[in-house]
Structure 1
Amino acid sequence: MKELLIIFCLAVILDIIVGDPEKLTHPVVIIGRLISWLEERLYQIGSAPNSLIFRGGILVIAVIITVFLITAAIIKVSFYLHYWIGIIVSAWLFSTTLATKSLKKAAMAIYLPLVSGNLAVAQQMLGQVVSRETSNLSSAEISRGAVETVAENTVDGVIAPLFYGIIGGPVLAFIYKAINTMDSMLGYKNDRYLYFGKAAAKIDDWANYLPARITGISFVLSAILLNLSAKKAIASWQKYAHLHPSPNGGVPESIVAGALGIRLGGYNWYHGQKQFRAYLGEKEREIVPEDIITTVKMMYIVVFLFTGAVLLLIIGLLLLGGIR
């Protein structure tokens, strides 16, 4: 457990200071290629729904097993070479499953042109992190998209991999990341993926259930620390979270909306079609670019609170002799 604690701490530090590798191929990209390769071989046009569900399930199992074997092998070989090589490689691998700095970077890339009046660049930057059409969005709509992105991705981009990483090390963190990547690639409710992506979407919902609620509680605490309304955050969680199309995504978004006194959700355009997503939060005022900065601050506090809680728990258990 001491070893895992060192790896955990190093991974968090690497993620916050260094962030994702820019010159190396990101491991998640490699997982994505594996998913695409398997999809080409397992998906059959015209197959019956049950057949597509089965084939999608085979893909999920194959990806999880492959990621487990490769990650475990890399870590095992690293420790075989030298103890500290194993620690460093494990921490680096773990850090690539986290996205704290990446989320901040993406948010700032939207915020800075927005406040300088360069709406076109802000639209373009938002378009890199969301699937909705952004070319005609107003400043408030761009700000909404950025706030929603940071709030929701705090779960699957930070807290969930930390949660699974402290339970099962980098291997389990990578398995979670593979599950999340499968959902992002296959979990659409359209003609192609409604059945084929069902297993990927369902297992992602299960995997994010606890992390989303841990993130929710942490967001409420962050509201207190930033002198925002924790009471309204909790009320918004209770009233609006279940309206979100994702059983987990509505938790952080509704809490952030309540804490800031803004309303998220609403109309978006996807591939030329206007779609409505349920409103989250009470509209006490218009969304402004500064809400992006506040949401990023809340995200960092959530990360520090979760990391601190984990460290206190493990150190306490070590001192009590409950674990070694």
Structure 2
Amino acid sequence: MNLLIDQFGSINLLPLYSVLIVVLIERHLRLADKFHPLTFAKLVALRVAYKVHSKNPGTPLQQMIAGTLAPIVLLSPFMLLLAVLIYLSEYPIFFDSLLLLLALRFTPVMMRIKKVERCLKTNKKTLAKQHLQTLVLRETAQLSPFGIAKAAIESLMLRFAAQFCCVIVLYLVGGGLLALSYRLLFEFSQCWHTKQGSYAYFGKPIRLCLALILWLPARITALCFIIGQNISQGLRALTQGKNLLCSRYFVLSLQGAALGVELGGPVFYGDNKVRLAKCGGTRPIALEDINRALNGIKKAQWVFLTLCFIACLLLNIGT
């Protein structure tokens, strides 16, 4: 018993305690998008893409080379400066926690989804589309209320994996610098998304990089969700899925099955129609499923943090 108490006070668990504190701060801290550093980073990314790519796209190979070099040029000086500051600081855990707070920005996503739900319930479909458009790249103009609800749920689930779970996993593995670097890469990838025709090649390198980084956290995310929502239905999707190597399909398949609703299907990106595989449950989306998804994500957050705590504690005991 004394050994267990000593383990809780171990300095090796400080990063985990900082995660818990930062999650609580991020949940209650209200910082407008226009004042957040990530917004500035996205503006810089768009400007760089305009300078490097839009004026003279070049061949597909040249675009891919430019897309590989662009994030390196943008991140290297900034991350080097931060690394030096952390190294010279007397309390590096404080700066690590601050970087995590910058990287961990998921509560505004949940608030935006809640606004979409309220607008749909009051028949404000145009306003619901405007809120949704800030979260998705797909075309929302022609979506029905149920199409809006499906897009909102899919965006919520995918962003939970990318903006919450993956950020925390990388922080526990490599500190705040790694977490913030990943989050900036994620924001760059949203600005240079390959589903936007002009960035089909320019954005490909960063998309491949993120796919590798997200592979394991996406699966942990889905498992945490089905543990909190409906583990039997979620696990059944593992035996029925046809493309579970794809992180997007894995997340939507398991979490949609746990909710019992069908996700996926055709999506318009501008004038391009992309036929995505249907997955999840068999029941069509209903408006009340948005609230069920939000509640499921809240439970999944605590399941995920609990698993992180257990894993860190076991690793600390092992060492």
TM range (shorter): 0.7 to 0.9
Match of 1:97 among 94, 103, 118: 103
Is 2:257 the partner of 1:251? no
Deviation at 1:139, TM superposition (A): 2.1
Deviation at 1:232, TM superposition (A): 2.6
Match of 1:203 among 182, 185, 209: 209
Is 2:73 the partner of 1:62? yes
Where in structure 2 are there 5+ consecutive unaligned residues? Answer: 1-11
Structure 2 distance, partners of 1:76, 1:6, is 21
Deviation at 1:111, TM superposition (A): 0.8
> Paired residues, what number?
307
Deviation at 1:127, TM superposition (A): 2.1
C-alpha distance 65-231 of structure 1, shift in aligned 2 (>3 A): same
Q: In terms of mean alpha carbon deviation, does 101-110 or 68-77 score higher?
A: 68-77
Structure 1 distance, partners of 2:242, 2:25, is 32
Deviation at 1:28, TM superposition (A): 1.7
Corresponding position of 2:236: 235
Q: In terms of mean alpha carbon deviation, does 63-72 or 144-153 score higher?
A: 63-72
Q: In terms of mean alpha carbon deviation, does 24-33 or 260-269 score higher?
A: 24-33
Is the contact between residue 260 and residue 282 of structure 2 (CA under 8 Å) also seen in structure 1? yes
Deviation at 1:64, TM superposition (A): 3.8
* Aligned partner letter, 2:296: M
Corresponding position of 2:289: 291
Corresponding position of 2:313: 315
Structure 2 distance, partners of 1:189, 1:125, is 20
Map Cα deviations across residues 109-157 of structure 1 (whole Å, 9 max, x no partner): 1111222333332222222222223234222111111111111111111
Corresponding position of 2:280: 281
Structure 2 distance, partners of 1:68, 1:241, is 40
Is the contact between residue 68 and residue 205 of structure 2 (CA under 8 Å) also seen in structure 1? yes
Structure 2 distance, partners of 1:150, 1:314, is 27
Structure 2 distance, partners of 1:106, 1:123, is 11
After TM superposition, the structure 1 = structure 2 runs for residues 152-231 of structure 1, keeping only pairs within 5 Å, are: 152-189=158-195, 191-224=197-230, 230-231=231-232
Structure 1 distance, partners of 2:168, 2:74, is 20
Deviation at 1:274, TM superposition (A): 4.0
Is the contact between residue 124 and residue 135 of structure 1 (CA under 8 Å) also seen in structure 2? no
C-alpha distance 238-185 of structure 1, shift in aligned 2 (>3 A): farther
Where in structure 1 are there 5+ consecutive unaligned residues? Answer: 225-229
Q: The residue matched to 1:196 in structure 2 has which SS?
A: coil
Q: The residue matched to 1:106 in structure 2 has which SS?
A: helix
Map Cα deviations across residues 156-182 of structure 1 (whole Å, 9 max, x no partner): 110000000111111110111122122
C-alpha distance 67-231 of structure 1, shift in aligned 2 (>3 A): farther
Corresponding position of 1:227: none
C-alpha distance 73-293 of structure 1, shift in aligned 2 (>3 A): farther
Is 2:113 the partner of 1:107? yes
Corresponding position of 1:123: 129
Root mean square deviation, CA, Å:
2.6
Structure 2 distance, partners of 1:46, 1:97, is 31
Q: The residue matched to 1:130 in structure 2 has which SS?
A: coil
Is 2:19 the partner of 1:8? yes
Corresponding position of 2:7: none
Structure 1 distance, partners of 2:213, 2:279, is 23
Is the contact between residue 219 and residue 299 of structure 1 (CA under 8 Å) also seen in structure 2? yes
TM-score, normalising length: structure 2: 0.85
C-alpha distance 219-40 of structure 1, shift in aligned 2 (>3 A): same
Structure 1 distance, partners of 2:19, 2:108, is 18
Match of 1:39 among 49, 54, 60: 49
Is 2:57 the partner of 1:51? no
